[in-house]
Amino acid sequence: MPVIHRKKPATESRSSACVSLLGGFDLRVGGAPVALPIQACRVLAYLALDCTNRPNSARNQVAERLWSDVSADRAYASLRTALWRIRQCHPQLIQVERDRLRLHDLVDVDVNHSRGQALRLLSDDPDLRPADAQVAALIAELLPDWDEHWLVMERERLRQLQLRALEALARRLCTLRRYPEAIDVAFLVIAAEPLRESAHQALIDVYLAEGNAAQAHRQFDRYATMLHAELGLTPTESLIARVGGRPSGDPRPGYLPHRRPAIPLPPRASTTPAFEWGASPPDRVARRATLFVPESPHGFVSRTEHL
């Protein structure tokens, strides 16, 4: 097989800068890690996330959002100090245009790659790139160790996009008959959101596609039981119809998985054979006594003995 050499993009060159926000903050310039004060890191992270919504940010808005608990003069002073620290690290990380700030175009942000992967998976393009089947960027949390009020909405928005992308990836892998991978991806979503019906539906669809109807029913039973126990709700009609849980036109207002009725255990075995004692000893004939002998912890079997 010929070896294909690919040209490294600009984001991988030694002169580039990379800001990583997934799993924690990390700044690398020319491939080497760079340490910055926390206030400078906050400015870089804010601009890296804000660039997806608008090309640049007003200086006063950045100061007010990042230092909302102090006066305006002190917030502007803190911003000036953070910008000076960033310029000392690399003069082209941030571009300042009058009263507006923006991240330089050559700065690579890992969140943008995660969003791009998610949008490709959610698109109508039937092709699945090998890189898009990697889930590392779709399960990493946005700055998990930071407690910032301006991060709450961004973190949840990215999280929901990642979950939908993982479900789309599970469906694509199922279409390609890569069932083990599809099951693993579906379980990642269920682990993140145990009551998310679309994740359970994706997993059930994979089981049905590979001919595992019994496993699909078990998964449905587990989800329906958990949903009713936690929220008092029942699965949607579409999910019930997938596993044939309720026939069409069933008037019942809700559905709960059928529980197997408890099998009553037979009476405890007696040491005395269970047969009639009415006949006199001389006329007694050989009779049969049925003893219940435990076969396993879950049941008994009958054994007939001639006495």
Strand partners, 33: 28
Q: Which of 9-23, 89-103, 136-150, 271-285 has the lowest mean pLDDT?
A: 271-285
- The highest-confidence range among 152-156, 240-244, 286-290, by mean pLDDT, is 152-156
pLDDT at 56: 78
Q: Check pLDDT > 90 for residue 238.
A: yes
pLDDT at 267: 56
- Structure confidence by residue, pLDDT tens digits, 249-265: 443 444 555 544 444 44
Which has the higher per-residue pLDDT, 260 or 243?
243
pLDDT at 244: 82
pLDDT at 300: 43
pLDDT at 250: 45
Helix (H, G, I), strand (E, B) or coil at 27: strand
- What's the rounded Cα separation, in Å, for the pair 256 and 235? 8
- The highest-confidence range among 59-73, 171-185, 252-266, by mean pLDDT, is 171-185
Q: CB–CB of 180/161 below 8 Å?
A: no
The whole-number average pLDDT for the span 156-161 is 96
What share of the chain has pLDDT > 70, as a percent? Answer: 73
- Structure confidence by residue, pLDDT tens digits, 266-307: 555 544 444 444 544 444 444 444 444 444 444 444 444 444
DSSP letters of 245-268?
A: -S-TT---S---PPPPPPPPPPPP
Q: Check pLDDT > 60 for residue 78.
A: yes
Q: Which residues of 222-254 are buried (b: 16+ CB within 10 A; e: fewer)?
A: ebbeebbeeeeebbeeebbebbebbeeeeeeee
Which has the higher per-residue pLDDT, 60 or 255?
60
